[in-house]
Structure 1
Amino acid sequence: MRKIPAELCVKCKGNKHLCGLTTCPILERFRSTIDVVNKIYNKDLIQGSTPPSIVIGEKNYPNVKLLFNIPPEINGEEAKKFEDPKGWWGKASIYEIINYRSALISNILDAKINDPWKLYEKEISLSSVSEKPVASEAKISGSILPKLKFDGYLAPRGPTAQSEKIQITENPKITETLDKLIFDDIKAEKGIITLYENGYDVYKIINAISLGLLGIKKDRKLVPTRWAITAVDSAIGKKLLQKIATYNEINDILVFYQKYLGNYFHVILYPSKYNVIWIEIWHPLSLWTNELVISELKENFWGEYSFMDGGYMAARFSTLEYLDKIKRQSGIIIIREITSEYFAPLGNWHIRETVKNAMENKIGKFDNLKEAISFVNSRLQAKINLAELKSIKLLFTQKNIEDFFSNNQGQNRHSSI
């Protein structure tokens, strides 16, 4: 959560709004959790439709925890809203998303990563990739822990309960393409690309990898969900980059923009071989910091980036999709500004979806890259100078990829004389 000084909360007690927020996030979480726990008070059987929503944890790997999420007493299509990144985007507020996630009971099962078939036989893994919510029930043991857990990669998680048994009481609806791949003996990466090229939802592909439904049969394993997100982003990104490298460069310098949940994105495309600069500007009292912080990441023509960042990979995914759609390659600058409005981590899905929507919202066309950068700079809420950032300075001083290829060709001609 956003680091609001504790002394401010003590003075406010949830009703003076001293932190500047319209609603107290502590009280919102408390109300949501109490509501869902009251639904199952003194019950040892939780019934409802999973949206679907399953998470594989990474703690104590290879002996991991499977979290099967059910909104108690919510059935059919109504359950979908509890895990629906594409449906949430542009409509659901942070508070609404927190309330949705607070209303899910995370039913915990112990699982071994090298036995995905056990979950398949019980249709638990199949429920994670169903095209519609699936009626389910979980027999729990012990008490429910009424805590809400947040994560930078994944959507928030509601109260948890250890489960003795999880039962799927309705047939999951699986597409023919995925059903065939489950029984095919092909590499997981090929399975990912096949699903993607057939228009399969990326979040379902992540679940398919995480639950061990793709890959060479003898090598299949459960994959922690965090790792599955990276694997899918990387596999699809690699495929898209191979195609983009064959396209001509764009002719114009374009600026795109979109905002959601206190995150403001500007994307600049300019004539160049593929390379990316990712800039994050964290405002004081935003999620992770009490002061202004700027982070920079670079990726070169060969798809090599300076460090792994989940937010960048999500934004990169949507930008690559756009370049493939217009059949062009370009240099890219993505600027993410995170304000104090973003007070709770909701996972990186909103980055992927906001950048995707940004690429449908062109707000400027320029003849000069410095002018485009200056234009974006004038729109930022932070009082900074983008032109003074190291990554931007290097953009105008270092030799570009054309120089590299030109020099290499010249050296090759010289060596052949």
Structure 2
Amino acid sequence: MEVRWNEYLSRNGSLFSSDELSGASPPSVFVGSYGYPRVGVGPMVPPVHGDTSLMDAPERWAGRPLDEIVNYRLSLVRGIRKTRVTGTSGRYIEGLQEAAMSRRPVDSDIRFEKPVSPAALADGCCAPFGPVGEIRRASFGGSSADGAIERAYYDRDLGAADAAVALYDGGTEISRIQGCLSVGMLGRRRKLVPTRWSITAVDDMVSKRLVGRIKDAPVSDAHQVFHYVHMGNLFSVVLFPHRWLFEMMEAYYSGGVLGFGADHEDARGLDHAPATAGAHFASRLAVAEHLCGRGVQAGALVLREIRAEYSVPVGVWQVREGLRAAMAQKPFVAGSLDEAIDEACRPMSISRNEWLSHGSIMRLVRQRTLSEFF
């Protein structure tokens, strides 16, 4: 990351010598978590005008190289103003809400207290961004409200989960819904939600509703395997005939040591904070979405191998979008679960035995259910 920052600074030195910025926000608003319940909230704005929407559109990033996405994000200057999370009214926050509601990039003029500083964030949950500066004054213009988001915003009788699902069902991108929740636009008792929390919350709320829909669907009769590789992440998805059962596993090297994370759930849902954190909910959303589209339920095993090429964490979005891309491919059709798991592990550097020794899927599948005794 430091090398990229040096390159970026040499190309864009003027960004750091001025306390003013004019550009088109994608639109994008970021709510921090440091100091909660008094947090830094503000727009993310590049020093350019025009169509900047790609800079904050994870749904359009699958297949793009890591360096390209990092460069998009380093171009976004984050303005902050300290605000209590319960402060969802007032000219400043309402301006941010109008920006988050917009269908197109929003012209933004920012005056900072002092020149912005290069303090890039890359925390594994949120996509990174560039310099940060404390806002003295901000103005926004040229927005055009998205009708579906506007309706959800003005419906204060609709709970946050119901609003998120209604927007999703209407075709609003998950990343847009996450931004709306973050800046206090959804639900009955509204407040600002740190961006890293809103990302996981929306993935959780929407995927939970999708899982509820497929529980009454017929069980799939096929063993299918999907693969996808992007930005140093190798994904394999196994879908097999079973009532809803889901396990997400990650493998990664840290300090030369191979580490694993794994979480599983059945129809009762998840009963603990997942070791794989937001990746569990992001992957569950992608899988449940695919099954809903097919009108079936199934057991699912997701394997994610994180390789050294994934040198800069760009956010949990890449799990969701990577798996969406995987299941858009033509699957390998296996004759059994064992054959499907063999195929899932085939392109990976980690063996089948290593994966299975850290997971629970085979034990769960082999457990007898009460129905077998009747």
Q: TM-score range by the shorter chain?
A: over 0.9
Q: Which residue in the other structure is 1:299 paired with?
A: 265
RMSD: 1.9
Alignment counterpart, residue 227 of structure 1, candidates 191, 197, 221: 197
CA distance 1:319–1:120, shift in 2 (3 Å): farther
Give the superposition deviation at 1:291: 1.7
Partner of 1:243, secondary structure, is helix
Partner of 1:145, secondary structure, is coil
- Distance in 2, matches of 1:226 and 1:158, equals 16
CA distance 1:290–1:137, shift in 2 (3 Å): farther
- Distance in 1, matches of 2:93 and 2:319, equals 35
Give the superposition deviation at 1:230: 2.1
- Distance in 1, matches of 2:313 and 2:359, equals 28
- Distance in 2, matches of 1:130 and 1:194, equals 18
Partner of 2:71, secondary structure, is helix
2:121 is the alignment partner of 1:154:
no
Per-residue Cα deviation, 1:276-328 (whole angstroms, up to 9, x for no partner): 1111121x3xxx54322122211112112553211121111111100000000
Q: Which residue in the other structure is 1:13 paired with?
A: none
Per-residue Cα deviation, 1:226-280 (whole angstroms, up to 9, x for no partner): 2212221122112111110010000010111111101010100000010111111
2:101–2:146 CA contact under 8 A, matched in 1? no
2:281 is the alignment partner of 1:313:
yes
Q: Which residue in the other structure is 1:378 paired with?
A: 346
2:54 is the alignment partner of 1:81:
yes
* Count of equivalent residues: 370
Alignment counterpart, residue 275 of structure 1, candidates 226, 237, 245: 245
Per-residue Cα deviation, 1:352-375 (whole angstroms, up to 9, x for no partner): 111001111133111211111122
Partner of 1:162, secondary structure, is strand
Give 1:234-273 correspondences, 5 Å limit.
234-273=204-243
2:248 is the alignment partner of 1:290:
no
TM-score computed with the length of structure 2 as normaliser:
0.93
Q: Is the radius of gyration larger for structure 1 or structure 2? A: 1
1:192–1:236 CA contact under 8 A, matched in 2? yes
The amino acid that maps onto 2:49 is N
- Distance in 2, matches of 1:185 and 1:378, equals 50
2:249–2:359 CA contact under 8 A, matched in 1? no
Give 1:125-274 correspondences, 5 Å limit.
125-170=97-142, 172-186=143-157, 187-216=159-188, 219-274=189-244
- Distance in 2, matches of 1:122 and 1:396, equals 50
Give the superposition deviation at 1:184: 1.5
1:275–1:331 CA contact under 8 A, matched in 2? yes
- Distance in 2, matches of 1:80 and 1:396, equals 44
2:318 is the alignment partner of 1:350:
yes
Q: Which residue in the other structure is 1:50 paired with?
A: 25
Partner of 1:128, secondary structure, is helix
2:260–2:358 CA contact under 8 A, matched in 1? no
Partner of 2:113, secondary structure, is strand
2:279–2:316 CA contact under 8 A, matched in 1? yes
- Distance in 1, matches of 2:33 and 2:171, equals 29
The runs of 5 or more residues in structure 1 that have no matched partner are 1-24, 411-417
Give the superposition deviation at 1:75: 0.5
Deviates more, 1:222-231 or 1:204-213: 222-231
The amino acid that maps onto 1:104 is L
Give the superposition deviation at 1:203: 0.8
- Distance in 2, matches of 1:269 and 1:54, equals 36
Alignment counterpart, residue 63 of structure 1, candidates 14, 24, 38: 38
Q: Which residue in the other structure is 1:5 paired with?
A: none
Deviates more, 1:25-34 or 1:59-68: 25-34
TM-score computed with the length of structure 1 as normaliser:
0.84
Give the superposition deviation at 1:40: 5.1
Q: Which residue in the other structure is 1:36 paired with?
A: 12
- Distance in 2, matches of 1:273 and 1:293, equals 29
Give the superposition deviation at 1:151: 1.4
CA distance 1:116–1:306, shift in 2 (3 Å): closer
CA distance 1:298–1:305, shift in 2 (3 Å): farther
Q: Which residue in the other structure is 2:363 paired with?
A: 394
Percent of residue pairs bearing the same amino acid type: 27
2:278 is the alignment partner of 1:332:
no
Partner of 1:318, secondary structure, is helix
- Distance in 2, matches of 1:183 and 1:322, equals 31
- Distance in 1, matches of 2:250 and 2:87, equals 40
Give the superposition deviation at 1:376: 2.0
The amino acid that maps onto 1:36 is N
Alignment counterpart, residue 99 of structure 1, candidates 71, 79, 87: 71
CA distance 1:28–1:88, shift in 2 (3 Å): same
- Distance in 1, matches of 2:214 and 2:94, equals 41
2:59–2:173 CA contact under 8 A, matched in 1? no
